[in-house]
Amino acid sequence: MISLLTRYRTVSRRSVNVLLAGIVGLMLQMSYPSAALAKPLKVGTSGGPVADIMNFAAERARQQDIDVLVVEFSDWVTPNEALANGDIDANLFQHIPFLNAAIKGRGYKLTPIAPTYVMPVGLFSNKITSFDQVPENAVVAIANDPVNGARGLQLLQKAGLITLKPGVGDAATVLDIVSNAKNLRFRELEAAQLPRALDDVTLSQVSISYLLLSGGNPEKALIADGFGDAHYALQFVVRADRKDDPEIAKFIAIYRSPEVKDYIAKKYGKYFVPVW
């Protein structure tokens, strides 16, 4: 009887010790989540080279125990919607003029926190090799979002094909054209669709990123902009209440490292110009 009681007490002590250890362990996990339990940092981006560079930086971050999940989007509207809704933690696909237009139009509480590189936009054609070959009534494709559409119109002005109202800048629309000597007709398309329009129009505004994604050659640009112009630098964007988030800051520091800059230079050369 005494032996059984002793054994019972021993087992009871062990059970209590195991229970206490489990409780303490749970409390520690709640206070200091392990890497396995921590949620990954979700960063949204557009496809092609932008996603490629992001994935390279994300791999560098994982080597430093920062789990980054890259979320690719196929348009330029959803990334800001997803960020505003809390589905992702940050995004990288837009410059400040585009962000400002999105904030004005949709009331987002988003803020840019770090510039990365400039992604040029050019005018391309599968039908002509110089602007003096543009025929009367030619169809020209430009981006259908306000800011990048304005960017396309400004390229056409630089090419001498149209004249815009003075000072319209990033707010330019086809309604601001005051001179159109060749009576160009405009087709407004989503930016991702512009490379596909090259067989159907005389000229198309195309982002170098989408051009490379479609297999196009940037060297065939009749004119391009944005080389090193910080006005068009793609920005890391977050919700305003997370602008000082240390985890996001850590990843951005890795992204804006010499290793990533070297990767961009070696793979994309003059077409993607870091501004950090």
Q: What tens digit of pLDDT does each residue of 249-260 get?
A: 999 999 999 999
Q: What tens digit of pLDDT does each residue of 12-63 get?
A: 444 444 444 444 444 444 444 444 447 999 999 999 999 999 999 999 999 9
pLDDT at 116: 97
pLDDT at 6: 41
Domain 41-119+230-274, CATH homologous superfamily name and number: Periplasmic binding protein-like II (3.40.190.10)
Q: What tens digit of pLDDT does each residue of 57-78 get?
A: 999 999 999 999 999 998 899 9
Q: What is the pTM of this model?
A: 0.78
The residue-averaged pLDDT of 131-146 equals 96
**83, 119, 203, 239 from 108: Cα distances, Å:** 9, 24, 34, 8
Whether the predicted pLDDT of 2 surpasses 90: no
Q: What tens digit of pLDDT does each residue of 211-235 get?
A: 998 999 999 999 998 776 888 999 9
Identical topology for domains 41-119+230-274 and 121-224: yes
Q: Where are the domains of the chain?
A: 41-119+230-274, 121-224
93 phi/psi in degrees, rounded to 5:
-165, -10
- High-pLDDT (> 70) share of the chain, %: 86
> Which CATH architecture group holds 121-224?
3-Layer(aba) Sandwich (3.40)
Q: What tens digit of pLDDT does each residue of 144-160 get?
A: 988 999 999 999 999 99
pLDDT at 270: 82
The residue-averaged pLDDT of 179-193 equals 96
* Separation between Cα atoms, residue 105 and residue 108, nearest integer Å: 8
